[in-house]
Amino acid sequence: MPSEYFKKMKRIIAEKGGVELDEIHETSYFEDDLNIGEIELVEILSELEDEFNVDLVEDKANLETVQDLIDLLIERLE
């Protein structure tokens, strides 16, 4: 994933999830590591949908880590 996408994604995760940018890594689990619950995850996905013009919310059940989200976003952007 181009780094500009990851930067935008990290900014949105930090903003909506209330976490610091340096806490967000590809291997971070949304719930366990970042303390991001389902409501915050839906807000993050909605913001990413607007930012990248893709559909993501329907697949939220499959997202456990930041890498899962990166993979999904790459799949939708191709």
pLDDT (tens digit per residue) in 3-59: 788 899 999 999 999 999 999 999 999 999 999 999 999 999 999 999 999 999 888
> What is the end-to-end Cα distance of the chain in Å, rounded?
11
Model confidence pLDDT, tens digit, residues 57-73: 888 888 999 999 999 99
pLDDT interval class at 1 (50, 70, 90): low
Query: Looking at the whole model, is its pTM more than 0.85?
Result: yes
Q: Hey, what are 8's tokens?
A: 């935008």
Cβ–Cβ under 8 Å, residues 10 and 70: no
DSSP state of 4: H
Specify the length of the chain in residues. Answer: 78
Cβ–Cβ under 8 Å, residues 68 and 62: yes
Instruction: Go through the domains of the chain in sequence order and give each one's CATH number.
Output: 3-77 (1.10.1200.10)
